[in-house]
Structure 1
């Protein structure tokens, strides 16, 4: 199998770039990044040294490489291919003080971390799911802080949650990010997500999707074609509407309208 690399830059807050790669022969020399690297190995295994200490990255786990810390990488078994996905996140995604703790514990085990990172990648591949990807990145932030023993439990902020819900309702057919909403509301994106989820028991992007599906349902009943309903309800396109309509209501927009 030939080595292959695909790299792109999604327009999602915190994300510098995304890399999908398959390597059989390539060996990374020691190098650094000015970003946090979130590594998931899908096939094979990667052996790497982080700040001169050896580690392994294997499937069903997530590896976090902090900014400005030297690391290398190679197949853990000579001549065996490995396939990996990496998300590079802004240096300010996590506090700089967590870099040393991450060097000591770079591997996140457990279903929560792997499922969150897999969900981020799925959202990054799907047009119209920018807020879902951003939510996953903010959720991973909390998972990492818990893994490193620095998580906190701030008090509930119901007034802030209400303000965000009103904004989401008022701008239901618009595309904007949690980061933009946090800037307008004068708070941090992580705190905004936490406040909303605590108050309403649902993530902001799930709330938006549910409201949009409900609006599309009413538009279909009023005689709109599925493509028109998708556009008016704020979906990226008809396929985007169909995917979520089927997940929420168990049928397609076309079948529902008929």
Structure 2
């Protein structure tokens, strides 16, 4: 069966004892459309506000998670499926005393394009038993080497159902409104993610006062510009670690000052050190 040559066929799977009764496993399957599979059992770890480049498709098998998305408190009641859109800041923390056990798929934009971001922000938690069952079946297929064709088939049905649930309405007529200074700053930060940009330089390039930039960005996206940059660099570091690159090289490649700089922010966002994240390699 022909496969997209851009998809890495290397799988990294490991289970780490971070704290008693806490486990993490992550791998990149050779299935087009799936950026990463992430399973975790957290008792105390709380994610700070952060963003991903990919869609976050989340199911919770035990306990519950509460999180903030677009300034609204959300959660994972019952048998819901949560879909968090790319580039939209969110956090996460246990909603029960014994923490939570979750399974996450990070999906690229081939599965859902940008037109679905707005509907996902408005309603990220989907009470859909059929969808949840299909997501669980996909996780099982992704955990078994040789079942890639099954995984691709199940992913196709999941993406179709997500589109049906989130189907955006037709775009209103007329010209698109101005994106504003916050979006201009985000474009600049995205374009200079690795080398970075000083706030004074950003202010000069965008013809705005530095404090106005920070206030506008934080108000528009619910996350400070520096937090946005660091969380995006951590997201990149995760992918590089799953490609098998050592943490020291990853730190430089992802735009961090050094390995300790990477470790500090990686641990804060993901909950473990990057070396442990890639331990089995």
- TM-score range normalised by the length of the shorter chain: 0.5 to 0.7
Quote the Cα distance in structure 2 between the aligned partners of 1:2 and 1:117. Answer: 24
Given that 1:7 and 1:20 are in contact with CA atoms closer than 8 Å, whether structure 2 keeps it comes out as yes
In structure 2, the residue matched to 1:88 is: 106
In structure 1, the residue matched to 2:136 is: 118
Deviations 1:128-147 (A, max 9, x none): 21011111111111111111
Once structures 1 and 2 are overlaid, which stretch shifts more, 2-11 or 35-44?
A: 2-11
If asked which structure has higher relative contact order (CA below 8 Å, sep 6+), I would say 2
In structure 2, the residue matched to 1:103 is: 121
- Where do 1:23-172 residues align within 5 Å? 23-77=42-96, 79-150=97-168
Please report how far the alpha carbon of residue 20 of structure 1 lies from its aligned counterpart in structure 2 after TM superposition: 0.5
SS of 2:110's partner is helix
- 5+ residue gaps, structure 1: 152-258
- Where do 1:161-240 residues align within 5 Å? none
Please report how far the alpha carbon of residue 59 of structure 1 lies from its aligned counterpart in structure 2 after TM superposition: 4.5
- 5+ residue gaps, structure 2: 1-19, 170-281
SS of 1:97's partner is helix
Quote the Cα distance in structure 2 between the aligned partners of 1:68 and 1:135. Answer: 27
Please report how far the alpha carbon of residue 42 of structure 1 lies from its aligned counterpart in structure 2 after TM superposition: 0.1
Given that 2:59 and 2:82 are in contact with CA atoms closer than 8 Å, whether structure 1 keeps it comes out as yes
Quote the Cα distance in structure 1 between the aligned partners of 2:166 and 2:77. Answer: 20
RMSD: 1.5
Quote the Cα distance in structure 1 between the aligned partners of 2:87 and 2:128. Answer: 26
Quote the Cα distance in structure 2 between the aligned partners of 1:21 and 1:112. Answer: 23
Q: Give the number of the structure whose alpha-carbon radius of gyration is greater.
A: 1
Please report how far the alpha carbon of residue 148 of structure 1 lies from its aligned counterpart in structure 2 after TM superposition: 1.5
Task: Flag as ranges the 4+ runs of structure 1 deviating above 3 A.
Answer: none
Given that 1:108 and 1:144 are in contact with CA atoms closer than 8 Å, whether structure 2 keeps it comes out as no
Please report how far the alpha carbon of residue 111 of structure 1 lies from its aligned counterpart in structure 2 after TM superposition: 1.8
Deviations 1:108-167 (A, max 9, x none): 21221111101101111122210111111111111111112359xxxxxxxxxxxxxxxx
Count of paired positions: 150
Given that 1:45 and 1:58 are in contact with CA atoms closer than 8 Å, whether structure 2 keeps it comes out as yes
SS of 1:38's partner is strand
- TM-score, with structure 1 as normaliser: 0.56
Quote the Cα distance in structure 2 between the aligned partners of 1:61 and 1:81. Answer: 17
